[in-house]
Amino acid sequence: MPCLHPIITIACTSSKPTQGAPVPVAQSSTAFGGPASAGNNGILEPDYGFHTDEEINPSWQVDLGQISTVCQVRLFNRINPAFIDRARSISVQASDDGVSYRTIYRHDGTIWGNGGAPLIPAIAPFTGGSFGSVWKQTRGSTST
């Protein structure tokens, strides 16, 4: 199947559109004025794009609108060095129905994104996932 959404870009401090027109997004909670829509609006923010409240398994989710083949995911972390370690336990998950998720990528716990460089996980193209989600697996807030 060809890549319908060849690159999905999700941002912590910065963001690029999810390959074209804006798509529906959601997050588990909102804090510090960081709405879910700031996670894929194309704006590079100096501190953070979206921001969840402190909670167990905070998440940000994008609805691709249909079952899709995704070939690459790019994640941008916060640029502020005081907070860059918060996304060490991030994972990318996909779902066909928005209820049952499978893990596509789980980060190894190292700090990533220094200087605004994206994390581009080595993943095989995956089909399915009308919902894509970024989860931070530990207690805390997600500002990715």
Tokens of residue 71, six digits: 């070939």
Tokens of residue 77, six digits: 């972390």
Amino acid at 41: N
Domain boundaries, the chain: 5-136
Q: Give me the pLDDT at residue 69, please.
A: 78
Rounded (to 5) percent helix, strand, coil in the chain:
10, 35, 60
Per CATH, domain 5-136 is 1.20.210.10 = no
Condensed to tens digits (0 to 9), the pLDDT of residues 76-125 reads 888 788 888 888 888 888 888 777 888 889 999 999 888 878 888 988 88
Check residue 87 and report its DSSP letter: G
